[in-house]
Structure 1
Amino acid sequence: MKQSHLMSLVEAITNVIVGYGVAVVTQIAIFPIFGLQATLRQNLAMGGIFTIVSLLRSFALRRLFEAILLRDG
């Protein structure tokens, strides 16, 4: 069964929200191990930046693979 556009959007949004949460929780847990201190606000901001970078990376790779598929297809 093919996924609808709406469900693809719901999946993408869920992925971003979960990824952001995982990034922030990971930073809060890992930074002290390396002697780094960040406030909750700083962790939230860094998580946002990492999320944007991840979205851009994912989009670029998806477009690259689509171009390869079209070229070879």
Structure 2
Amino acid sequence: MKQSRLMSLVESVANVVVGYGVAVATQILIFPVFGLHTTLAQNLKMGAIFTIVSIARSFALRRVFEAIRMRSAK
């Protein structure tokens, strides 16, 4: 069954929302190990930027693989 573009986006967003929390928590724990000291607000902003990029990447890859699947099904 073919996944719609909307459902591809919904799945990608859900995946990345969970990843956002993990990423921010990881930044808070790991940055100081490398001598990087950021505020919570800075971590949240960086996480937001990475999240937007991740959603776009995930959506684009999903659409590419869906196109490949549909092409090979013909």
Higher relative contact order (CA 8 A, sep 6+): 2
Whether 2:48 is the aligned partner of 1:48: answer yes
* Stretches of 4+ aligned residues off by more than 2 angstroms: 11-17
CA distance in 2, matches of 1:35, 1:42: 15
Q: What is the TM-score of this pair, normalised by structure 1?
A: 0.77
1:24 correspondence with 2:59: no
Percentage of matched positions with identical amino acids: 67
User: CA separation in 2, counterparts of 1:55 and 1:12?
Assistant: 6
- Work out whether residues 24 and 44 of structure 2, in 8 Å CA contact, stay in contact via their aligned partners in 1: yes
**Matched residue count:** 66
What RMSD over aligned residues (CA atoms) do the two structures have, in Å? 2.0
Map of 1:39 onto structure 2: 39
In structure 2, relative to structure 1, the CA distance for the partners of 1:14 and 1:60 (3 Å cut) is: closer
Bigger Cα displacement from structure 2, 56-65 vs 13-22: 13-22
Give the TM-score normalised by structure 2: 0.76
Any unmatched runs of 5+ in structure 2?
Answer: 1-5
- Paired amino acid for 1:59: F
Unaligned stretches of 5+ residues in structure 1: none
Aligned partner of 2:3 in structure 1 is: none
Change in Cα spacing, 1:13 to 1:70, as seen in structure 2 (3 Å) is: closer
